[in-house]
């Protein structure tokens, strides 16, 4: 009798969570410059096929010849989830980010971004291999579950994620290759110019940095902190079985973990400006602008992707002359608005008119104002 209300409350919570997730994804996609009714209909059709595949696979697994073999059902279920997840991820990305830079055979194709993802694929494979070997050695013991359960979760969860990262990395590599091969503008800097620019960037970032003084800010943080505690208490009451003490212990553990994460994030951000300064001194002292995107400060950014796109471009003179690009990031762990600044070398201010014209052609939804007085 007690479990039934808890189960219903959990179902309501999952439904609300799903609705909010879908609403957030729709809002982000609706603002994307790649949005169109045709593409949206294709995505809706892909989702219907995914649902049909999940329903059909579930019926086949739960009512097929392996009905009386829970182990076989679990294995086939995991394989099915992995296959559907990877296939769905690849299909949706091909629909929403259909454009991939086409390069002639003579162009050297860089693989910088793909190498980053390949390292994570290799690490995941090694972890799964070690877990499988340990589980085989301890197969007759209950300890095998301690290796198989996390490995299964990693396999099912990381498969679609690594697929998405690899497909995005491929698009970035192809775009960067195109930009380097045929740039609108290619700016180079001397060591002295780059060091001066890095020092000014450090000063600029420090001026924008928001420092939290807990002795002064704790009253403002009290209300959101109390809200989070109530949310953890509500989730513990719904999801954690047992006595009131068990529920309070689970809620306390969750709050403690959240506080620990917040402290670690603040500690990591404390020296972020200095770390970016050191990285800026080590990257190539060059900048490229091209049809696909911009490569500067050692990083490449595509003008338009479904999850990241250019919002505005200006040419501020304070504290130094530069091209300031503002990108919007949808989802992910990064900031919602990312600012990239590219120093303008002496004698290259005439390139701004060309950059403005080409950016407006490539990014019609962005606000481009690099040359004063132009529209």
Q: What is the pLDDT of residues 16-25, one digit of tens each?
A: 766 776 777 7
50-73 pLDDT, tens digit each: 888 888 877 777 676 666 666 676
Mean pLDDT value of segment 313-330: 88
CB atoms within 10 A of CB 120: 14
Buried residues in 273-305 as b, exposed as e (16+ CB within 10 A):
beeebeebeeeebbbbbbebbbbbbeebbbbbb
| pLDDT score recorded for residue 221 | 62
Q: What is the pLDDT of residue 192?
A: 92
Confidence of residue 274 (pLDDT cuts 50, 70, 90): confident
pLDDT at residue number 50? 85
- Average pLDDT over every residue of 71-84: 77
Does the pLDDT at position 2 exceed 50?
no
Question: Rounded distance, CA 172 to CA 178, Å?
Answer: 10
Q: What is the DSSP string of 325-363?
A: EEEEE-SSSS-SEEEEEEE--TT-TTHHHHHHHHHHHH-
For 284, which DSSP code?
A: -
Q: What is the mean pLDDT of residues 15-40?
A: 78
Give the pLDDT score at 1. Answer: 43
Average pLDDT of 342-357? 92
Residue with the two structure tokens 């979760």: 153
Span 161-174, pLDDT tens digits = 999 999 999 999 99
The predicted model gives 345-366 an average pLDDT of 93
Q: Is the pLDDT at 144 greater than 80, yes or no?
A: no
Q: Which two tokens stand for residue 99?
A: 């454009």
Residue 268 confidence (pLDDT): 67
Q: Is the pLDDT higher at 227 or at 219?
A: 227
Higher pLDDT, 138 or 239: 138
CA distances 370 to 30, 180, 260, 285, 374, Å, are 27, 22, 44, 22, 8
DSSP string for 232-243:
HHHHHHHH--S-
Sorting pLDDT into bands at 50, 70 and 90, what band is 195? very high
Q: For position 236, what pLDDT does the model report?
A: 67
More confident residue, 333 or 131: 131
Looking at the predicted structure, is the pLDDT value of residue 300 above 70? yes
Q: How confident is the model at residue 275 (pLDDT cuts 50, 70, 90)?
A: confident
């Amino acid at each position: 009798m007690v479990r039934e209300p808890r189960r219903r409350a959990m179902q309501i919570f999952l439904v609300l969570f799903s609705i909010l997730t879908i609403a957030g994804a729709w809002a982000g996609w609706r603002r994307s410059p790649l949005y169109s009714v045709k593409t949206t209909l294709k995505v809706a059709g892909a989702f219907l096929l995914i649902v049909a595949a999940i329903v059909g696979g579930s019926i086949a697994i739960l009512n097929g010849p392996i009905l009386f073999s829970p182990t076989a059902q679990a294995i086939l279920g995991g394989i099915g989830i992995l296959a559907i997840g990877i296939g769905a991820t690849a299909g949706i990305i091909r629909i929403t980010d259909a454009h991939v830079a086409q390069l002639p055979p003579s162009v050297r194709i860089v693989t910088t971004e793909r190498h980053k993802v390949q390292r994570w694929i290799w690490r995941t494979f090694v972890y799964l291999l070690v877990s499988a070997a340990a589980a085989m050695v301890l197969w007759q013991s209950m300890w095998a579950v301690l290796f198989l359960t996390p490995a299964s979760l990693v396999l099912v969860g990381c498969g679609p994620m690594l697929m998405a990262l690899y497909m995005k990395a491929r698009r970035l590599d192809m775009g960067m290759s195109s930009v380097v091969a045929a740039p609108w503008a290619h700016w180079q800097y001397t060591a002295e110019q780059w060091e001066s620019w890095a020092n000014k960037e450090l000063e600029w970032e420090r001026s924008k940095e928001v420092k939290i003084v807990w002795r002064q800010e704790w009253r403002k943080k009290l209300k959101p902190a109390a809200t989070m505690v109530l949310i953890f208490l509500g989730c513990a009451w719904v999801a954690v079985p047992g006595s009131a003490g068990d529920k309070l212990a689970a809620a306390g553990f969750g709050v403690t973990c959240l506080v620990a994460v917040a402290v670690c994030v603040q500690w990591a951000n404390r020296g972020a400006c200095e770390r970016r300064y050191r990285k800026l001194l080590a990257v190539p002292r060059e900048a490229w602008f091209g049809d696909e995107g911009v490569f500067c400060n050692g990083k490449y950014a595509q003008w338009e992707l479904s999850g990241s796109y250019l919002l505005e471009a200006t040419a501020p003179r304070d504290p130094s002359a530069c091209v300031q690009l503002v990108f919007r990031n949808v989802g992910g762990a990064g900031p919602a608005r990312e600012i990239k600044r590219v120093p303008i070398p002496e004698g290259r201010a005439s390139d701004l008119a060309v950059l403005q014209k080409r950016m407006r052609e490539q990014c019609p939804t962005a606000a481009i104002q690099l040359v004063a007085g132009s529209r």
